[in-house]
Amino acid sequence: MLLAHLPADFLLTQALIHDRVTQGTTAYWRYLLLGLLASVLPDLDLFYYYLVDQQQHLHHSYWTHLPIYWYSLYLLCLLLVMMVGQRSWLLICHIIFLNVLLHCVLDSVNGGIRWLSPWDMTYFRLFSVPKRTPLWYGNFIWHWTFLFEISIIVSAVWFGAKLHGRRVLTWCKQ
């Protein structure tokens, strides 16, 4: 996935906070922002990939794309929340973990994620993208799975416009 991480995680975060937080409040926007930030956490490895590693390894091989790391962190967070007794932090843990997990699921469509690491280093992907153009992103854009990505983006825009459209239009008129 190239472009659908933020739109997909917008939809997921909306589903998670829908009945828990009043729409339009400061808390609502904070949770939404948290979900969007969590959706790109695994791709922070791109800084290392381009600036340090000089693109020597697939960026999905770094620890930020290993589900076992995020599962461990999630369990640790849940344990801390239960020990401290701040049940209100449960929603934060769920938002972060589920958005990161969705990122990995989307990367499994045609990018490949090592779901069984450290026991098995196989990259699992639903579809392989053949190399047809010299530009790596061109191969993904011209592959039929890009239609799936576009459908996620269109769905998020439609849902966001339906949910926030009136509020945005009112704000623009001021």
pLDDT in tens, 3-52: 899 999 999 999 999 888 888 889 999 999 999 999 999 998 888 877 88
pLDDT at 34: 96
Percentage of the chain modeled with pLDDT above 90: 50
pLDDT at 15: 94
Token pair 């939809």 is found at: 11
pLDDT in tens, 14-25: 999 988 888 888
pLDDT at 66: 93
pLDDT at 81: 92
Tokens of 122: 């196989």
pLDDT at 173: 55
Q: From CA 165, how far away is CA 157, in angstroms rounded?
A: 10
pLDDT at 75: 96
pLDDT at 80: 92
pLDDT at 7: 95
The answer to whether residues 7 and 150 touch, using CB atoms and an 8 Å cutoff, is: no
Task: For residue 167, give the H/E element and its range.
Answer: helix 146-173
pLDDT at 167: 59
Low-confidence stretches of the chain (pLDDT beneath 70): 166-174
Token pair 């469509």 is found at: 109
